């Protein structure tokens, strides 16, 4: 007796089991990790399919966390940073826990409040070769590293560049007490900063 292969057809949406939440192609979702005590995986839905046995599968495009990428987590990687990878895979739709939001870096930094399901992405990640796109992003401060939205920075009133208080030899509280900050480059002085209280 020969086995017949499951016939699949595409679906426009899927209601997460046990909820009223509907997900569609293009949505970002949280996927249950096999280890119950770990944080959920994050992926983008590329396709939703159902077979003639009513099994629903989703083709997903994985987001990688910095610690899962080549080179690991760096100082400028924020806690909620993800990389959209070129790693696609089919998963059972039953592993979907819920929806989440993956913002652009710019939109993420404008959020008034970051929720548990808010993430951001500024790099694409070629998983097989460990390559990041874009190759370069804007760097700030004297330390010349990309912005980490989790770290407080102060902006120079003249050049509009941003600086970490620690790179200026100051505390966050000292910087917050300033009326105006002008960096040493704009002030033309040898010392690190020019501040007005």
63 and 158 housed in the same domain = no
Q: Please check whether residue 1 lies inside any domain of the structure.
A: no
pLDDT at 120 over 80: yes
Q: Is-contact 62 41, C-beta < 8 A?
A: yes
What pLDDT is recorded for position 34?
A: 77
Assigned domain for 61 exists: yes
Residues 123 and 168 in one domain: no
Q: Which range in 69-78, 82-91, 156-165, 180-189 is most confidently predicted, on average pLDDT? A: 82-91
| Residues in the chain, overall count | 197
CA 7 to chain centroid, in Å, comes to 36
- Assign 185 a pLDDT band (cuts: 50, 70, 90): confident
**Residue 76 and residue 159 in one domain:** no
What is the C-alpha separation between 8 and 53, in angstroms, rounded?
9
User: Does 104 fall in a domain?
Assistant: yes
Q: Give me the mean pLDDT over the 16-28 stretch.
A: 95
Region 72-91: mean pLDDT is 95
**What is the mean pLDDT of the segment spanning 83-94?**
96
In degrees and rounded to multiples of 5, residue 87 shows phi and psi of -95, 110
| Domains of the chain: total | 2
Do 117 and 175 fall into the same domain?
A: no
Mean of pLDDT over the chain: 90
Q: What is the DSSP string of 140-169?
A: ETTTTEE--TTS--EE-TTT--EE-GGGGT
User: 13 in a domain, yes or no?
Assistant: yes
Q: What number is the average pLDDT over the span 89-96?
A: 95
Task: State whether 49 and 122 are in the same domain.
Answer: yes
Predicted confidence at residue 186, as pLDDT, reads: 87
Residue 19 has pLDDT above 80, yes or no: yes
Domain that holds residue 45: 8-137
Could you tell me if residue 181 is inside a domain? yes
Q: Does residue 195 have a pLDDT over 50?
A: no
pLDDT band at 189 (very low <50, low <70, confident <90, very high): low
Q: What is residue 192's predicted lDDT score, i.e. its pLDDT?
A: 45
Global pTM? Answer: 0.82
């Amino acid at each position: 007796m020969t086995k017949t292969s499951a016939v699949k057809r595409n679906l426009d949406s899927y209601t997460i089991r046990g909820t009223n939440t509907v997900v569609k192609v293009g949505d970002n979702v949280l996927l249950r990790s096999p280890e119950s005590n770990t944080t959920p995986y994050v992926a983008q839905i590329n396709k939703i399919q159902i077979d003639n046995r009513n099994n629903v599968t989703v083709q997903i495009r994985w987001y990688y966390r910095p610690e899962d990428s080549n080179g690991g987590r760096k100082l400028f990687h924020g806690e909620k940073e993800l990389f959209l990878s070129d790693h696609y895979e089919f998963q059972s739709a039953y592993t979907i826990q819920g929806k989440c939001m993956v913002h652009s870096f710019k939109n993420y930094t404008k959020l008034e409040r970051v929720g548990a399901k808010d993430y951001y992405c500024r790099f694409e990640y070629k998983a097989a070769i460990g390559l990041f796109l874009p190759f370069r992003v804007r760097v700030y401060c004297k330390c010349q590293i990309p912005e980490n939205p989790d770290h407080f920075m102060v902006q120079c009133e003249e050049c509009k560049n941003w600086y970490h208080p620690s790179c200026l030899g100051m505390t966050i509280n000292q910087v917050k007490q300033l009326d105006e900050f002008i960096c040493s480059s704009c002030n033309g002085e040898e010392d690190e900063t020019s501040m007005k209280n």
